A and B are shown apart, each in its own frame.
Chain A
Amino acid sequence: MGTFRGLALDLSVPGGALLPVLGVSSLAVVPSHRRRGILSALMAHGLRAAVARGEAAAVLHSAEYPVYGRYGFAPATRHGGFTVDVTASGGLRPDLDTSATLREAAPEEVRRFGPALFDEARRGRAGAVSRPGWSWRRRTGAALLPGEEWEAPTVLVHRDGAGEVRGLVAYTVDGKWSDRVPDATLTVTDLVATTAQARRALWAHLLSVDWVRRIEVPDAAPDDPLPLLLRDPRAVRPLPHPADCLWLRLLDLPAALTARTYPPGLRLALRVADPAGHVDGVWLLRTGADGSAEVTPDGGPADLALDAAALAALHLGGEQASRLVAAGLATELTPGAARRADTLFRTTAEP
């Protein structure tokens, strides 16, 4: 009557570490048996099993916003997909050096170097989930879902002076015409770059593809630098996605909190409410000079009270404690605690 599939994944956290997490997918309950607690029972079982396996957190993509907060999940990253009006953009800024040779890559090549390139890129950006081997096979047409039609994307690769792969872009073009003139949309299905030079070279190519009037990038970080690379950043508009992207649930609080880095020399005691018990209690977080943290259960008074979901929202740096306090989702127990938590959890790059 109900289904749940758990995936063994890992999640990049601020500082570049990869945290083992449970990926929750394939949740469904047959329509005749809904609202009887089947999802709640599956989730409770699935999260307990993850704890037993040593997974420090769980992640999912939520079809509907109101469902998963009750299980301690909260949105921890935001969608940043956008569309570029190529003509209005004026192309890349003329002062940028975009000289580079891009080369087309065959699917088997992508399967060979893609995973390492992606892992290197996501160490610089928290909130990116690992891509298992089957995910690369699906992206490269080697494994399709039943009934799925494969439209092979164009894949171009950027290498640095030493011949190392530093970037990859995969895209399709719809070849549409309107009023007897080309009016095509180019859709970026993957863009991975580990250097600014690679990113610029890939964009220089995308903006020069014949017939293309519009470029859609469904998956991008909310602070993607592309607008600032263009002559006219107004040519970039956000796609009408829901803002929330990856939902996170912390399961092993010391393991999750110590996996990431923080500004040095800070101290904050958190009182976390978690009816499921996984992260319930008062926890003292102290950060060392090297940005690492020590997290210990604490009997003393707390600075900030919040529930498991609110803490998950803060964990990757995509949410601010002071905003949660303003919304009644966290409570300051000592003056200035929210500001301190903002300093602690915020990151330079948005997750």
Chain B
Amino acid sequence: MTDAPPTSPSPHPTAPPTALTVREITEDDLDGWGRAYSKGNFVPYRTASLERRRGVFEPGRWLGA
């Protein structure tokens, strides 16, 4: 329950800090959002996911950075 230190060192220790924006995504962002999600989870992106995500998308609850 306390913060444990990261188990691995940063893979990009010299990466320059970039300006970071977090925002609620819109339906138009769903394709890019899905691609980032797949990349982050090391799973192949399937175009069929887009339709499924449209079906469950709730504006205001899905965020992207």
Binding site for B on A (CB under 8 A): 1-8, 26, 28-38, 41-42, 44-46, 49, 64-66, 69-70, 74, 134, 143, 145-147, 307, 309-310, 313, 324, 329
Establish whether residues A31 and B39, one from each chain, have CB atoms under 8 Å apart when the complex forms: yes
Q: A35-B12, A36-B12, A38-B65 are in contact. Are A1 and B52 (CB under 8 A)?
A: no
A66 to B8 Cα, complex, angstroms = 11
Q: Which residue of B lies closest to A132 (CB)?
A: B56
Residues of A within 8 A of B33 (CB): 3
Distance of A3 Cα from B62 Cα, bound (Å): 8
Residue of B nearest to A53 (CB): B60
Give the top 10 A-B pairs by smallest Cβ distance, nearest first: A28-B40, A2-B65, A146-B48, A6-B61, A309-B1, A66-B4, A4-B63, A35-B10, A70-B3, A146-B46
Give the total of B residues in contact with A, Cβ under 8 Å: 34
Question: Nearest residue in A to B48 (C-beta to C-beta)?
Answer: A146
Contact in complex: A2, B18 (CB < 8 Å): no
**Which residue on chain A has the smallest CB distance to residue B12?**
A35
List B contacts of A44 (CB < 8 A).
Answer: 22
Q: Of residues 14 to 37 in B, which have CB atoms within 8 Å of A's CB atoms?
A: 15, 17-18, 20, 22, 24, 33, 36-37
Report the minimum CB–CB distance from B30 to chain A (whole Å): 10
Q: Helix, strand, loop or mixed for chain A's interface? A: mixed
The listed residue (A45, A143, A145, A146) touching B22 by CB distance below 8 A is A45
Q: In the complex the two chains form, what is the Cα distance from A248 to B46 in whole Å?
A: 31
A35-B11, A147-B46 known; A42 and B63 CB under 8 Å? yes
Give B64's nearest chain A residue, CB to CB.
A3
Residue of A nearest to B61 (CB): A6
Contact B60 A1 (CB under 8 A): no
Q: Is the CB of A329 within 8 A of B1?
A: yes
Distance between Cα atoms of A147 and B64 in the complex (Å): 25
* Minimum CB distance partner of A328 in chain B: B2
